[in-house]
Amino acid sequence: MLFTVASAQVDTGLPLALEQGEEIDAMLSPLREGLGNACLSEFAFSNLYLFRRAHAYRYLPGPWPCVAGVTYDGVRHLMPLFDINEAPVAVLQELLREHDCFFPVPASTAGTLDPSLFIVTQCEDDADYLYAAQNFRDYRGELLRKKRQLMQQLLRQWEITAHPLGPDRIGDADSLLGVWMQDKEKARGEADESACREALQLVGRFGFDARIYYADGDAAGFIIAQRFNAGTAVMRFAKGSDRYKGIYQYMFHHYCMQVQDIAWINFEQDIGLPNFRQTKRSYQPQAMLQKCRVALRA
């Protein structure tokens, strides 16, 4: 699947640029802290920037700032950088004049809106997967037994070493991304290749917690995670070679063992891809974080 918007486009506002990061993150930070482990994965400038082309994101500054974009299923939306409960209805009507809805709106916020004024819908493909980090630390129980066995099999077969993904190892990770693309039979530019390659170059700029893993000295996999708020992290990218069965299970385990203060891991959405959905569900999510689409009644 190519992670780009096929037809609908957004023409208003400013193209997202790195220079806007501090300003936009300052508005997103209260949302991240207030929502705790229920914070949606989009609520970070880094994510908006890396997927700016896929969603045609543009920044609309002003007294009621938003980021305009297009969902994977072609809905023109506004991501409010403020609590929509605080905005007058007339302001919301004006903001939505050229857009279909506000999105993503946390379910906790959508639940407080007046149903006589607002229409709230959800799409299963949008929901984030939230896991207890302890799941990955011990893979305990029958439902996670296979994950534990795959990790143990990997460790019996290979000597695995882990390193911070610094500038001296970006080349290894970039090459490994190419291996991952071949394993998945993806053409150049498909899946999230472009966003991932850019993320590798911006690890330091965005403060990502990135690690690369080697099997007998050869690059086997890497992860790019992001601390979101106290106790919660988001797994932004995870790539591994099919040659090393169990590498994903080990990478998630190792990361969670290294960040003992993290209690929750958000693995983002499955965007409706059956294999992606099956894999994410197999790790036994604690909750699905619904992302609401909020429109005004006529």
> Quick one: pLDDT at residue 1?
39
Contacts 24+ apart (CB under 8 A), 92-99: 92/296, 93/296, 95/64, 95/66, 96/295, 96/296, 98/12, 99/68
Rounded Cα distance between 84 and 86, Å, is: 5
Rounded average pLDDT over 65-82: 97
DSSP secondary structure code for residue 51 in this structure? T
CB 250, CB 91: distance < 8 Å = no
CATH class of 14-122: alpha beta
Q: What is the mean pLDDT of the chain?
A: 95
Residues facing residue 102 across a β-bridge: 78, 294
The token pair that represents 61 in the structure block: 């500054």
Return the CATH fold of 128-268: Aminopeptidase (3.40.630)
Rounded Cα distance between 280 and 275, Å, is: 9
User: Hey, where are the domains in the chain?
Assistant: 14-122, 128-268
Q: What is the pLDDT of residues 85-134, one digit of tens each?
A: 999 999 999 999 999 999 999 999 999 999 999 999 999 999 999 999 99
Q: What is the pLDDT of residues 136-159, one digit of tens each?
A: 999 999 999 999 999 999 999 999
pLDDT at 3 over 90: no
Contacts 24+ apart (CB under 8 A), 109-113: 109/83, 109/84, 109/85, 109/292, 110/292, 110/294, 112/85, 113/84, 113/85, 113/294
pLDDT at 6 over 50: no
Q: What is the pLDDT of residues 242-277, one digit of tens each?
A: 999 999 999 999 999 999 999 999 999 999 899 999
- Per DSSP, which regions of 99-208 are E strands? 101-106, 118-122, 128-132, 160-164
What pLDDT band is residue 8 in, cutting at 50, 70 and 90?
Answer: low
Are both 14-122 and 128-268 of the same fold?
yes
> Quick one: pLDDT at residue 7?
46
